[in-house]
Amino acid sequence: MKILVCIKQVPDMESPFRPNGSATWFDESDLAFRMNEYDEYAVEEAVRLKEQLGGEPEITVLSIGPDRVIEAIKKALAIGCDRAVHILEPEVASREPWQIASIIAAYARDKQFDLLFTGMQSQDRGSAQVGVLVAELLGIPSTTTLVGFAWADGVVTATRELEGGVKGKVRLRTPALVTCQLGLNSPRYPTLPNIMKARKKEITTLQAGELSSEKPLTGSAAFRHPEKKGSGVVLEGSVDELVEKVLVILKDKTAVLR
Amino acid sequence: MKLLLVGEYREGRLLDITAELMGFAAAIGGEASLFLVGSAEEVPAFNGTLYLVDAKVYGEYNPEVHKQLLLKAVQEENPDLVVFVHSSYGWDLAPRLAASLKVAQVSEVIGFAGNAYEVGCCNAKMHRNVTPLTSKAVITIQAGAFPALQEGGTPVVKVLSTDVASTTEFVGYEPAEARDVNLAKAEIVVSAGRGIGKKENIEVIRSLAKAFGGELGASRPVVDAGWIDHGHQVGSTGQTVTPKLYVACGISGSIQHLAGMKKSGFILAINKDKDAPIGEVADVLVVADLLQFVPALTAKLS
């Protein structure tokens, strides 16, 4: 069995974000990057399937971006992916979902992957498009928002998270693509021996432009802090002052404190 | 502008969210038709064309077949914009249609100006404008972003069918887990978020909840990490609460969480990140280390 896991490297979401020069996206300087949280579940689920099948499947992890994404790739290798493809794209921030999906599909098209795992969305862009678009471009079935996954005899049984705590169970025959929701599993931390072992694993570098030259279907502008809508007060200061201020406000504005 | 709205139907019922699509159509202005995999026994009341697919025949979740049926409606209607809700149904089906038509998709729209759509990004901390570069486009709208509209009227029904085979077998629904905590009736809810750092710190938040005489809630990451059971989860996949006082401790404020608590009477948020989106709905945002602030507040209340 051949498995492909697609991961993205994103900034830590607690970072202070500033627009870049053209305000199309954020300025990357001073940001710390890490693996997209949804993709951690995708990597973990692929590695669990490999373990379930006695180590037989070969897992390729793929990431698109500048050299910084190799850090996320190495983490995936340390968790248990076998080999990696780094698709070099220094301008990844200006590539929108259709272009990213076209690059991945161009890479995967002749590789006969049985299963593809992606996160259901990225934390930074949050379009929830790329996984499904890849499957559509490859002409294989897909389903999204998995909180449960099982594989047996070429059939995936997926539990999808719907609204209000309801779940929906579906089956699809491989080759197939699934997108992973938070809480699907408990992603492990890479151990030191596995981090060392991962150093010997192969990372192939490809050029994005050689895989796909699709033009963007959307444009981005006015990356900004949202306008403050509420009349909220922001309080800063020492803990003792803050507690006093909060108690005064709660007594004044709510009926719950007397 | 011609709009084709994609309604939602689940477990034999037309979903209320369909009215938000009508609200969006009214806000942006244009002639709206509706595509619905549902039932002739429960059609939404509006004046326009309803492209109706029988859910009993084609299934409530059957993406490949729904896409083919939707393509038929698009062919007949020739809309400028196809509008979904950003939901487990919408975000699953919209990219399939966009790929087939090879048109732009803009996800989770919260507003518009000219031909640009406003969307959130970076966990809703930031916003940006996304403009389709194709003449037609597909969008999904954020649940709750546009007021629901009960238009009234009688649609002209056109029934669609297809013989395309399904690639997905729908097995069934699993109901939401039974809850041992009823947050919906609580007057005060004190919730723990990822910012508490580790499982042991749940007790710090529990003590504050007790001092307030309120119930303990939690955001999704805390539940996913196994720090507390799902019965405490507030948000679109947990419980929706409207207490007189909601205290958000270390909760950044994802859209899903905000959907479950933003109608609370008074919202107090404690977060070390001044830009956290919880600040958008909070009446008071205390910028502090919650492991220092919360015990101090608890001590004063007790």
Among A residues 147-166, those touching chain B with beta carbons less than 8 Å apart:
157, 159-166
Instruction: Give the pLDDT score at A55.
Output: 97
Q: How confident is the model at residue B176 (pLDDT cuts 50, 70, 90)?
A: confident
B11 and B89 share one domain? yes
Instruction: Give the pLDDT score at A230.
Output: 66
The mean pLDDT of chain A is 96
Instruction: Give the pLDDT score at B146.
Output: 95
Mean pLDDT of A229-250: 90
In a domain, B181, yes or no: no
Instruction: Give the pLDDT score at A54.
Output: 97
Mean pLDDT of A217-229: 90
B296 and B209 share one domain? yes
Q: What confidence tens digit (pLDDT) does each residue in A57-89 have? A: 999 999 999 999 999 999 999 999 999 999 999
In a domain, B213, yes or no: yes
Cα distance between residue A49 and residue A150, in whole Å: 8
Residues of B in contact with A136 (CB under 8 A): 95-96, 99-100
CATH number, position A63: 3.40.50.620
Structural domain that includes position A118: 2-211
In a domain, A229, yes or no: no
pLDDT surpasses 70 at B65: yes
In a domain, A85, yes or no: yes
In a domain, B167, yes or no: no
Q: Which of A1, A4, A39 is nearest to A146 (CA)?
A: A39
In a domain, A219, yes or no: no
B300: closest chain A residue by CA:
A243
Residues of A in contact with B171 (CB under 8 A): 157, 169-171
Secondary structure in 3-state letters for chain B = CEEEEECCEECCEECCCHHHHHHHHHHHCCEEEEEEEECCCCCCCCCCEEEEEEHHHHCCCCHHHHHHHHHHHHHHHCCCEEEEECCCCHHHHHHHHHHHHCCEEEEEEEEEECCEEEEEECCCCEEEEEEECCCCEEEEECCCCCCCCCCCCCCEEEECCCCCCCCEEEEEEECCCCCCCCCCCCCEEEEECHHHCCHHHHHHHHHHHHHHCCEEEECHHHHHCCCCCHHHEECCCCECCCCCEEEEECCCCCHHHHHHHCCCCEEEEEECCCCCHHHHCCCEEEECCHHHHHHHHHHHHC
Instruction: Give the pLDDT score at A258.
Output: 61
B124 and B85 share one domain? yes
Among A residues 232-251, those touching chain B with beta carbons less than 8 Å apart:
232-236, 239-240, 242-243, 246-247, 249-250
B64: closest chain A residue by CA:
A141
Q: What confidence tens digit (pLDDT) does each residue in A88-113 have? A: 999 999 999 999 999 999 999 999 99
In a domain, B105, yes or no: yes
pLDDT surpasses 70 at A215: yes
Q: What confidence tens digit (pLDDT) does each residue in B87-145 have? A: 999 999 999 999 999 999 999 999 999 999 999 999 889 999 999 999 999 999 999 89
B120 touches chain A (CB under 8 A): yes
Instruction: Give the pLDDT score at B33.
Output: 98
In a domain, A241, yes or no: no
In a domain, B197, yes or no: yes
Q: What confidence tens digit (pLDDT) does each residue in B234-291 have? A: 998 888 999 999 999 999 999 889 999 999 999 999 999 988 999 989 999 999 999 9
Which of B104, B176, B252 is closest, CB to CB, to A164?
B176
Instruction: State which of B159, B179, B205 marks the end of a domain.
Output: B159
Which residue out of B64, B87, B118, B128 would a mutagenesis test of the A interface target, given it has the greatest number of A Cβ atoms within 10 Å?
B128
Instruction: Give the pLDDT score at B97.
Output: 98
Instruction: Give the pLDDT score at B138.
Output: 98
CB neighbourhood size of B297 (10 A) = 28
In a domain, B177, yes or no: no
Task: Provide the percentage of residues in chain A whose pLDDT is more than 70.
Answer: 99
Instruction: Give the pLDDT score at B237.
Output: 84
In a domain, A245, yes or no: no
pLDDT surpasses 90 at A250: yes
The mean pLDDT of chain B is 94
* Cβ-contact B265, B244 below 8 angstroms: yes
B133 and B192 share one domain? no
Structural domain that includes position B101: 2-159
pLDDT surpasses 70 at A229: no
Instruction: Give the pLDDT score at B302.
Output: 86
pLDDT surpasses 90 at A256: no
What the block records as the tokens of A167 is: 């779940």
B122 touches chain A (CB under 8 A): yes
- Cβ B96–A186 below 8 Å, yes or no? no
pLDDT surpasses 90 at A182: yes
Q: What confidence tens digit (pLDDT) does each residue in A13-62 have? A: 989 999 999 999 999 999 999 999 999 999 999 999 999 999 999 999 99
- Cβ B284–A221 below 8 Å, yes or no? no
A26 touches chain B (CB under 8 A): yes
Per DSSP, the residues of A152-174 read ETTEEEEEEE-GGG-EEEEEEES
pLDDT surpasses 70 at B78: yes
In a domain, A220, yes or no: no
pLDDT surpasses 70 at B155: yes
Strands B245-249 and B188-192 turn out to be parallel
Instruction: Give the pLDDT score at A103.
Output: 98
Mean pLDDT of A199-221: 97
A183 touches chain B (CB under 8 A): yes
Count how many domains chain A has.
Answer: 1
B43 and B151 share one domain? yes
B145 and B285 share one domain? no
Count how many domains chain B has.
Answer: 2
Judged by average pLDDT, the poorest of A6-10, B96-100, B228-232 is B228-232
In a domain, A194, yes or no: yes
What's the CA angle centered on A183, arms B59 and B174, to 5 degrees? Answer: 35
A20 touches chain B (CB under 8 A): no
In a domain, B179, yes or no: no
- Cβ B107–A129 below 8 Å, yes or no? yes
Task: Provide the percentage of residues in chain A whose pLDDT is more than 90.
Answer: 93
pLDDT surpasses 80 at B178: no
B281 and B153 share one domain? no
Q: What confidence tens digit (pLDDT) does each residue in B50-60 have? A: 999 999 999 99
Residues of B in contact with A143 (CB under 8 A): 63, 92, 168
CATH number, position B113: 3.40.50.620
Please state the ipTM of this predicted complex: 0.94
In a domain, B7, yes or no: yes
B226 and B113 share one domain? no
B88 touches chain A (CB under 8 A): yes
pLDDT surpasses 90 at A232: no
B237 and B130 share one domain? no
B117 and B26 share one domain? yes
pLDDT surpasses 90 at B151: no
In a domain, A233, yes or no: no
B110 touches chain A (CB under 8 A): no
Task: Provide the percentage of residues in chain B whose pLDDT is more than 90.
Answer: 85
- Cβ A126–B187 below 8 Å, yes or no? no
CATH number, position B270: 3.40.50.1220
Instruction: State which of B159, B175, B205 marks the end of a domain.
Output: B159
